[in-house]
């Protein structure tokens, strides 16, 4: 397994990988520094500056409430990035552990649990999440475990498939002969051998979850106003796209560029680690 520096260097030697890494770094810096570099209060309304086009006073123009779009756009990814990161951690932890345990257990337990998971994956994630959001509310505290659970289902497939390639290997059989528990074998024997595949899948999961958070915000069930969010900003500007296109273009550009950057980086990472067929597992 390559070191972190060697892997990063190999990714940067790929044009697409370099572009992706730069985009991701720029977005992370913006999210980190936005509170101190925004020129206006992102939630302050100005009735005298409603739907102003881009100018020196408002670089990206203003929205229908007179709020500065530049400031709101710079801040628009912060909440979604935090929610996506924590949700991805939840999804990877429980999905990976359950997938590996099922691969070790095999037999009827594996078959029964996987049939249940197949049935749950068949339900569109948006319906499942919307159902729980409607019942529990759209707070950050509720969104993180909901998205972590929904997207952890697809992680189970990858973790189980990757672990099945090793369960019959000599070092696993030797651990079983020594009387080690399934949990110990999963953590000490299997997990280190499949962590590259899981790490790459985790990065891809992050982009899917980020899109899910933005989609929920677009539907009014994600990040709660007045906190700026790109999905929410796009939704608010739908009715004024012709008269004030700047209100919808900038959040779309920032949202798209972050997703493109993550996907390019993940693709380059997978190539460096010789991991193929990303994303070819059922998605919720």
Q: What pLDDT shows up at residue 254?
A: 97
Cα–Cα distances (Å) from 61 to 54, 66, 232, in that order, read 4, 9, 17
Lowest mean pLDDT among 33-47, 76-90, 264-278: 264-278
Q: What pLDDT shows up at residue 155?
A: 92
- Residues 163-180 pLDDT 10s: 888 887 888 888 888 888
Cis bond upstream, residue 15 (ω within 30): no
- Residues 48-97 pLDDT 10s: 889 999 999 899 999 999 999 999 999 999 999 999 999 999 999 999 99
Q: What pLDDT shows up at residue 24?
A: 96
Contact between residue 262 and residue 211 where contact means Cβ atoms under 8 Å apart:
no
The span from the CA of 90 to the CA of 210, in Å, is 14
Cα–Cα distances (Å) from 48 to 66, 237, 245, 246, in that order, read 7, 18, 19, 18
Q: In the predicted model, what is the mean pLDDT of residues 95-112?
A: 90
Q: Which residues pair with 62 in a beta bridge?
A: 68
Q: What percentage of the chain carries pLDDT values higher than 90? A: 51
90, 86, 87, 34: which is closest to 229 by C-alpha? 34
Element (H, E) at 219: none
Q: What pLDDT shows up at residue 137?
A: 67
Question: Is the model's pLDDT at 11 over the cut of 60?
Answer: yes
Q: What pLDDT shows up at residue 35?
A: 92
Q: pLDDT-derived band of residue 185, with 50, 70 and 90 as boundaries? A: confident
Question: Is the model's pLDDT at 279 over the cut of 80?
Answer: no
- Residues 232-253 pLDDT 10s: 999 999 888 888 999 999 999 9
Class of domain 4-33+60-272: mainly alpha
Q: What pLDDT shows up at residue 133?
A: 73
Query: Mean of the per-residue pLDDT values for the chain?
Result: 87
Q: Where are the domains of the chain?
A: 4-33+60-272
The span from the CA of 228 to the CA of 41, in Å, is 11
69, 65, 76: which is closest to 39 by C-alpha? 69
Q: What pLDDT shows up at residue 142?
A: 80
Question: Is the model's pLDDT at 281 over the cut of 90?
Answer: no
274: region left, alpha or beta (phi > 0 left; psi from -120 to 50 alpha):
left
């Amino acid at each position: 397994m390559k070191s972190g520096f060697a892997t990063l260097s190999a990714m940067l030697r790929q044009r697409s990988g370099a572009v992706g890494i730069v985009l991701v770094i720029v977005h992370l810096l913006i999210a980190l520094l936005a509170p101190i570099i925004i020129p206006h209060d992102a939630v302050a309304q100005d009735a005298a500056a409603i739907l102003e086009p881009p100018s020196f006073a408002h670089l990206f123009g203003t929205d229908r409430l007179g709020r500065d779009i530049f400031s709101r756009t710079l801040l628009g990814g912060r909440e979604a990035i935090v929610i996506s990161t924590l949700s991805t951690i939840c999804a990877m932890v429980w999905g990976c552990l359950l997938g590996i345990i099922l691969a070790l257990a095999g037999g009827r337990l594996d078959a029964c649990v996987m049939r249940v998971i197949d049935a749950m994956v068949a339900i569109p994630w948006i319906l499942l999440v919307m159902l729980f959001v409607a019942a529990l509310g759209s707070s950050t505290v509720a969104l993180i475990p909901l998205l972590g659970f929904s997207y952890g289902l697809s992680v189970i497939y990858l973790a189980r498939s990757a672990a099945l390639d090793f369960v019959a290997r000599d070092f696993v059989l030797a651990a079983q002969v020594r009387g080690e528990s399934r949990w110990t074998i999963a953590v000490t024997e299997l997990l280190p051998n499949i962590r590259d595949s899981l790490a790459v899948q985790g990065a891809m999961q992050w982009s899917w979850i980020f899109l899910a958070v933005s989609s929920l915000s677009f539907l009014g069930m994600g990040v709660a106003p007045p906190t700026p969010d790109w999905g929410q900003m796009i939704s608010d500007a739908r009715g004024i796209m012709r008269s004030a296109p700047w209100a919808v273009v900038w959040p779309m550009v920032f949202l798209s560029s972050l997703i493109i950057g993550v996907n390019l980086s993940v693709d380059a990472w997978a190539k460096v680690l010789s991991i193929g067929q990303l994303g070819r597992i059922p998605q919720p």
